[in-house]
Amino acid sequence: MVGKVKFLVCLVMIVTLMVVLTSIGVNAEEQLVIGIIQIVEHPALDQARQGFIDLLADHGFIKGQNVTYDYQNAQGDMATTNTIAQKFSWEEPDLILAIATPTAQAVANVIKDIPILITAVTDPVDAGLVESMERPNTNVTGTTDMTPIAKQLELLLEIKPTVKKIGMVYNAGESNSALQVKITRSLCQEMGLTLVEATADNSSSVNQAAQSLANRVDALYVATDNTVAAAIETVVMVAEEYQLPLIVGEEAMVARGGLATEGISYYQLGRQTGEMALKVLVEGVDPAGMPIESQQQTRLVINQSAAEKIGLVLTEHLTERAFHLY
C-alpha cells in the first residue's frame, strides 16, 4: 500500500511538472531553437555569445540535444543584418539573442512577437529598443555594455599624467559609438583635456583615421566601437610607431595589443544575459517587464608588453591592482 501511494505521488509530481513546462512554453519533448545574430566577429562579441551559450548549458540546455543555435554573423554589413532579421521573422525561433546595437535594432524593427534578448548594446533607450531601462514595454530586454568612460580616462591620466590631448577613433554610423563620443567630449572638458576625433566608416579605414591623429595627440582612446574593435591591431601599430598610450574600452582589445582598460567582462555579460533568457524560457517571464541589466563590477587589465614597446614604465601600484597582466 505504501509503495502504491509513493508511486501515485511521483506520478502526480511528474504530471504537474509537465503541465507547468507546457504552460510556460517549454516542451521537454521538443527542441528549442534560439537564433543568434551578431554584427561582426571580434573577441568581445564572441565572448558574450559564448557566455550566453555556456550559461544555458550549465542549466541543462545542451547544444545538439535539446537546443539548436542558429548563429548568423552579418560581417559588419547592414544589408546582411536586415536579411538575417527577415530570416528569423519567417522561421520564428523560440528566442533571439541580438549581439551589438545594429543587429538588435534590425531584429527589433521587424520582429514584435518573439522574445529578443540583447547584449553588448550601449544604450537600449537611445537605440529605440525599449521605452526605459527599468521597464522595456517591448519584446526586447537584456544587458547593456555601457563602458565606464570616466574610469578609463582616469586610468590614462594615472598611467601618463602629462597627457593633454586625446585622439579618439570611432564609427559615427554606430549609435553606441556616437553616444560614447558625446560622453567622452563632456568628460574631457570637465577634466581639462582636449579630445581630437577621427571617424572610420569601416574596418579598412581605421588605420587611416588613427594615422590622422598620431602627430596631434598625446594618447589614443578607443571605446567599445565594433568597427574599430574589429581592426584594433591597426590602431596598436600606430600607437607603437608614435609611442602613444592606447587606452581601450574592453579587455579583449588589451589582449590584442592595447595598453590597458578598466572595463567589464563580455563573457560574464553574456552569462548574465543567459540568466535573463532562462527567466523567459523556463519561467515564462514577459520581457516587457524585465529591466535592462548592467554589469556593476569592472576590472583593470594591463598589457605590459604594450607598455614596453612605447617606452612606458608602469608603477608597481598599478600592476599590483591589475586583475590580469599580459
Q: Please tell me the distance from the alpha carbon of residue 90 to that of residue 97, in angstroms, as a whole number.
A: 16
Q: What is the mean pLDDT of residues 75-101?
A: 96
**pLDDT band with cut points at 50, 70 and 90 for residue 2:** very low
Query: 46 and 138 share a domain?
Result: yes
Query: 259 and 270 share a domain?
Result: no
183 domain-assigned:
yes
pLDDT digits (tens, 9 = 90+) for 12-36: 443 343 443 433 445 444 589 999 9
Specify whether the backbone of 185 is left (phi greater than 0), alpha (psi in -120 to 50) or beta: alpha
Query: 290 and 254 share a domain?
Result: no
284 domain-assigned:
yes
Q: What is the mean pLDDT of residues 55-77?
A: 95
89 domain-assigned:
yes
pTM for this prediction: 0.79
pLDDT digits (tens, 9 = 90+) for 172-222: 988 889 999 999 999 999 999 999 999 999 999 999 999 999 999 999 999
Beta partners for residue 261, in sequence order? 301
**Beta strand spans in 52-203 (E):** 67-73, 95-99, 116-121, 140-144, 165-170, 194-199
Query: 60 and 90 share a domain?
Result: yes
User: Which position has the grid cell 598610450?
Assistant: 245
Query: 132 and 38 share a domain?
Result: yes
4 domain-assigned:
no
pLDDT digits (tens, 9 = 90+) for 137-154: 999 999 999 989 999 999
10 pLDDT above the threshold of 80: no
* Measured CA distances, 177 to 36, 172, 224 (Å): 22, 7, 7
Backbone phi and psi for residue 293, each to the nearest 5 degrees, phi listed first = -105, 155
pLDDT digits (tens, 9 = 90+) for 130-139: 999 999 999 9
Q: Provide the residue range defining the domain that includes 246.
A: 149-263+299-325
Task: Kindly give the interhelix angle for 175-190 and 101-110, rounded to the nearest 10 degrees.
Answer: 130
Backbone phi and psi for residue 178, each to the nearest 5 degrees, phi listed first = -60, -40
Q: Which of 112, 69, 118, 60 is nearest to 93 (CA)?
A: 69
